[in-house]
Amino acid sequence: MLALLAIRMKKNESKANTAIKIVFWLLPFVIVAVAVCVFSSWLFNTVMIDSTYYKLVTNTSVINNDIKIDLSKKIDKPEEDVAEFPKIPYLSQWATLNVEGWEMKDIPVYSGDNADILEIGSGHYIGSPFCGQGGRVVLTAHVTKVFYELEDMKKGDVVTIDTIYGRYKYRVKKTFVFNYQDASYITDYDRNATETLLMYTCYPRSVYGIRYERFGVLCEKIDGKDWHTHEEAE
């Protein structure tokens, strides 16, 4: 009886050892499979969805509560005969941006620069003037999206902004890199100063790592109606 019990115990022990061996043999494959899945998910979300043209090509809309930002509604022609400076509601598209030499065309510009806006276009920094109001107009966008080509800009390039109240043109004066904690470039928008345009994004444009610097492009206004008003976005 004891001998039979010992035989059974040995068999059970042998099975347990075999199961353990199988687990250890399969473990590397499981780890590799999980790693492949995680990497594939990261690759899709970072390289595909966050690519420069994905949102625009697919005409993706972003829904923020009850507000829908629809990329299909573009400003095709600026209104040149506007008598009064218009009210520009928060989250509304008020302009399209085109840069000399860029592949990306008709970039939508919205009032505000929250996460939803930066997913599909360029955002206007709240507090900075709008085109024609003097001071520094500040626009921003993700480097992995519509401002991917910002880093390639050089002195003399022309930027055209077609707003709902007229067309404005700016010429690049300089490009520079600054730390993300240095807000002086962004908040320097005295409306009594000569009008300039600042466009900035994360730097460098690599999709890897945390970016602590920003790439800025400062432009001088060369064309467009001046508005003697300090109307803000609603």
Angstrom distance (rounded) from CA 47 to CA 157: 28
Q: Which two tokens stand for residue 171?
A: 């010429």
77-112 confidence digits (pLDDT tens): 566 667 889 999 999 999 999 999 999 999 999 999
Q: What is the per-residue pLDDT for 49?
A: 44
Angstrom distance (rounded) from CA 126 to CA 191: 14
Find residue 111's DSSP bridge partners.
124
Angstrom distance (rounded) from CA 224 to CA 168: 4
Classify domain 60-223 at the CATH superfamily level: Sortase (2.40.260.10)
Q: What is the per-residue pLDDT for 141?
A: 96
Whether a cis peptide bond, with omega within 30° of 0, leads into 129 is: no
Contact 119, 56 (CB under 8 A): no
Per-residue pLDDT tens listing for the chain (234 residues)? 555 545 555 555 555 566 566 756 766 776 887 777 666 655 555 444 444 444 343 333 333 444 455 544 556 556 666 788 999 999 999 999 999 999 999 999 999 999 999 999 999 999 899 999 999 999 999 998 999 999 999 999 999 999 999 999 999 999 999 998 888 888 876 767 789 999 999 998 876 667 789 999 999 999 999 997 554 444
Contacts of 24 (CB under 8 A, 6+ apart): none
Q: What is the pTM of this model?
A: 0.67
Domain boundaries, the chain: 1-49, 60-223
Angstrom distance (rounded) from CA 170 to CA 19: 72
